[in-house]
Amino acid sequence: MDKVLVIGACGQLGSELSHGLGEVFGQENIIAADIADPVPAIEGFIYERLDVMDAKSLADIVDKHDITQIYHLAAILSAKGEENPKWAWNLNMTGLLNVLELAKEKKLKKIYWPSSIAVFGPGTPVDNTPQHTIMDPNTVYGISKLAGERWCEYYFEKYGVDVRSIRYPGLIGYKSLPGGGTTDYAVDIYHKALAGGHFECFLSEDTQLPMMYMPDAIKATIDLMESPAENVKVRSSYNVAAISFSPKEIVASIQKNIPEFTTSYVPDFRQPIADSWPNSIDDSVARADWGWKEAYDLDEMTSDILQHLPELLPSFQ
Ligand code: AKB
Per-residue pLDDT reduced to its tens digit, 244-256: 999 999 999 999 9
What pLDDT is recorded for position 215?
98
Asked if 101 and 220 sit in the same domain, the reply is: yes
What pLDDT is recorded for position 177?
86
Structural domain containing residue 305:
171-211+243-316
The finding on whether 118 has its CB within 6 A of some atom of ligand 1 is: yes
Contact 6, 30 (CB under 8 A): yes
Asked if 274 and 303 sit in the same domain, the reply is: yes
The finding on whether 11 has its CB within 6 A of some atom of ligand 1 is: no
Q: How confident is the model at residue 315 (pLDDT cuts 50, 70, 90)?
A: confident
What pLDDT is recorded for position 313?
84
Q: How confident is the model at residue 276 (pLDDT cuts 50, 70, 90)?
A: very high
Asked if 32 and 74 sit in the same domain, the reply is: yes
| Mean predicted lDDT score pLDDT of the chain | 97
Q: What is the DSSP string of 253-308?
A: HHHTT-TT-EEEE---THHHHHHTS-SSB--HHHHHHH-------HHHHHHHHHHH
Asked if 77 and 95 sit in the same domain, the reply is: yes
Element spanning 167, H or E:
strand 166-168
Contact 48, 31 (CB under 8 A): yes
The protein residue with its alpha carbon nearest to ligand 1, atom 7, reads 116
| Ligand 1 probe mutation, 73, 184, 237, 277, most atoms within 8 A of CB | 184
C-alpha dist (Å) from residue 208 to 125, 167, 235: 14, 17, 28
Task: Write out pLDDT tens, residues 295-308.
Answer: 999 999 999 999 99
Q: Which atom of ligand 1 is nearest to the CA of 182?
A: 2
Answer whether residue 191 shows pLDDT above 80.
yes
Asked if 128 and 177 sit in the same domain, the reply is: no
Residue 181 Cα to ligand 1 middle (Å): 5
Total number of domains constituting the chain: 2
> Would you say the C-alpha torsion 150, 153, 156, 159 has a positive or negative sign?
negative
First to last CA, the chain: 39
Task: Write out pLDDT tens, residues 123-146.
Answer: 999 999 999 999 999 999 999 999
Asked if 150 and 276 sit in the same domain, the reply is: no
Question: How far apart are alpha carbons 119 and 279 in whole angstroms?
Answer: 14
The finding on whether 117 has its CB within 6 A of some atom of ligand 1 is: yes
Asked if 250 and 278 sit in the same domain, the reply is: yes
Asked if 222 and 251 sit in the same domain, the reply is: no
The finding on whether 144 has its CB within 6 A of some atom of ligand 1 is: no
What pLDDT is recorded for position 314?
80
Asked if 202 and 120 sit in the same domain, the reply is: no
Nearest to 179 by CA among 250, 109, 80: 80
Residue 183 Cα to ligand 1 middle (Å): 6
Per the model's pLDDT, the better-predicted residue between 225 and 177 turns out to be 225
Query: Residue 298 is part of a domain; what is its CATH number?
Result: 3.40.50.720
Asked if 32 and 96 sit in the same domain, the reply is: yes
Find all residues with CB under 8 Å of 32, minimum gap 6, and list them: 6, 9, 10, 14, 18, 38, 42, 45, 46, 47, 48
Q: Which atom of ligand 1 is nearest to the CA of 114?
A: 7
Question: How far apart are alpha carbons 122 and 269 in whole angstroms?
Answer: 16
Q: How confident is the model at residue 236 (pLDDT cuts 50, 70, 90)?
A: very high
Asked if 206 and 119 sit in the same domain, the reply is: no
The finding on whether 78 has its CB within 6 A of some atom of ligand 1 is: yes
Asked if 64 and 198 sit in the same domain, the reply is: no
Q: How confident is the model at residue 197 (pLDDT cuts 50, 70, 90)?
A: confident
Answer whether residue 317 shows pLDDT above 80.
no
Q: How confident is the model at residue 225 (pLDDT cuts 50, 70, 90)?
A: very high
Residue 301 Cα to ligand 1 middle (Å): 18
Question: How far apart are alpha carbons 231 and 228 in whole angstroms?
Answer: 6
Task: Write out pLDDT tens, residues 67-113.
Answer: 999 999 999 999 999 999 999 999 999 999 999 999 999 999 999 99
The protein residue with its alpha carbon nearest to ligand 1, atom 6, reads 170
Residue 182 Cα to ligand 1 middle (Å): 6
What pLDDT is recorded for position 264?
98
**What percent of the chain shows pLDDT beyond 70?**
100
Span 260-282, average pLDDT: 98
Q: What is the separation of C-alpha 180 from the centre of its chain, rounded to a whole number of angstroms? A: 12
141 is an active site residue: yes
Answer whether residue 238 shows pLDDT above 90.
yes
The finding on whether 168 has its CB within 6 A of some atom of ligand 1 is: yes
| Ligand 1 probe mutation, 12, 73, 78, 167, most atoms within 8 A of CB | 78
DSSP H helices in the chain: 12-25, 55-64, 78-83, 85-105, 140-159, 185-194, 214-226, 247-255, 270-275, 284-290, 298-312
What pLDDT is recorded for position 316?
77
The protein residue with its alpha carbon nearest to ligand 1, atom 1, reads 181
Answer whether residue 179 shows pLDDT above 90.
no
